[in-house]
Structure 1
């Protein structure tokens, strides 16, 4: 209960609240104390974003000896007085082996989660998977996913006419070809047009989000993606 006490800043609990929290812990935490590698998957539970969380869960579940889970699949705490999200998150995050967070927007509860996992004690075991993220410097366009993410901000930009879009894409491709990435403008356009309708518009993140993603990137734990296939591929990079 020490982690719960920290999450609630030392707030004194009523007896029935303690009982409810202990009941949740006794039901759910034993799953995280087995030889299996546990993965706590974070992100938006709204449709269509939930579909991408299920992709991550399914890919991790294909591995032998893993237990990937979403908080949305676990029972709620029946406590009206307390901030139950903080309690459930803290218990699960403290005991999970790895935290995997998927981002596709700069609003919603994911903002709070990002703030939590980017600090001690969760940072060292957390990985972020932001769609269409690219720290826009040439040396950071190191993978095809980076290039597609950068290209999306150009291709779907309504402020650019057709000629300007073509010029910007050509410039981007010329730069990344120097990084030994063999893509052509038609290749990139095909990849972008193959996105789901709900994925068409590129994600525009706040400067706060970009800085947090950059921190994870510098530590080798940020994997950008642009399509469902990209997402499946980057999950393979998570230990």
Structure 2
């Protein structure tokens, strides 16, 4: 196999790589593998299509939600949604392959899309990377069952459903007590003018029960990171997969080009 040659913007690429590996000197074989990766994967990000780097857990059933997001984005003409696990992997034993791949893909993608359903696993450090520069301005988060911890008002359907899920999965409540408390939640929401019906809430509870997944809870540090995206209108909570598919529409469409690109930022 012919050794790959450095691309025209090799200096910029190596700046990203050196930051990812902490500035250590790369061996010739490692550089060749990095050039091979960049020649294989980065042209898709440099094309006229708008790229969406999708982050989240690769374990089942979470990977199904990543695929759902990918499929929804792929319906748009000019979109290139991708998951890092599908790409060519860097075969290096000495270096942290994930850091290099993540840094290159995050740097050259137009948008970064994080789908979160739990607070542990590979997606936890990813959240820590995208909530700050240089990636924050082009990042969007989709946390399941998220509601800001200090929000005690049932002022939206999402908040009512989140509260109902917590009641339904409480260990110390009987079936009758769950039914009574869920009904009371809906009554309170309706009294405050929210257009929601009890069957809508029970449909979500039943779906979550069939799925076997309890409501997602997050520690304070995760909640604050999600909260950081909210004032920028880049945090989109969801409860069901259908709702996730719907809120994906809130992402920027393939046109126009992202604002960060016009400023020259990477």
Q: Partner residue of 2:260?
A: none
Q: Check whether the contact 1:118–1:212 (CA below 8 A) recurs between aligned residues.
A: yes
Q: Distance in 2 between matches of 1:190 and 1:199?
A: 14
1:53/1:172 CA distance change after superposition, 3 Å: same
1:196/1:234 CA distance change after superposition, 3 Å: farther
* 3-state SS of 2:215 partner: coil
Aligned residue pairs total 238
* 3-state SS of 1:23 partner: helix
User: Pick from 190, 200, 204: which aligns with 1:191?
Assistant: 204
- Report the CA distance between 1:178 and its aligned residue: 6.4
Q: Partner residue of 1:182?
A: 195
User: Pick from 117, 136, 139: which aligns with 1:126?
Assistant: 139
- Report the CA distance between 1:149 and its aligned residue: 2.7
Q: Check whether the contact 1:39–1:96 (CA below 8 A) recurs between aligned residues.
A: yes
User: Pick from 97, 112, 136: which aligns with 2:110?
Assistant: 97
Q: Partner residue of 1:148?
A: 161
Q: Check whether the contact 2:208–2:214 (CA below 8 A) recurs between aligned residues.
A: no
- Which runs of no fewer than 5 residues in structure 1 stay unpaired? none
Q: Answer yes or no: is 1:158 the counterpart of 2:163.
A: no
RMSD: 2.0
User: Pick from 65, 78, 83: which aligns with 1:52?
Assistant: 65
Q: Answer yes or no: is 1:228 the counterpart of 2:241.
A: yes
TM-score, length of structure 1 as denominator length: 0.91
Q: Distance in 2 between matches of 1:68 and 1:143?
A: 30
Q: Distance in 2 between matches of 1:165 and 1:114?
A: 34
1:30/1:135 CA distance change after superposition, 3 Å: same
- Report the CA distance between 1:45 and its aligned residue: 0.6
TM-score, length of structure 2 as denominator length: 0.83
- Report the CA distance between 1:22 and its aligned residue: 1.5
1:135/1:160 CA distance change after superposition, 3 Å: farther
Q: Distance in 2 between matches of 1:74 and 1:196?
A: 34
Q: Partner residue of 1:7?
A: 20
- Report the CA distance between 1:46 and its aligned residue: 0.8
- Which runs of no fewer than 5 residues in structure 2 stay unpaired? 1-13, 253-266
* 3-state SS of 2:250 partner: coil
* 3-state SS of 1:45 partner: coil
For residues 70-89 of structure 1, what are the structure 2 equivalents within 5 Å? 70-89=83-102
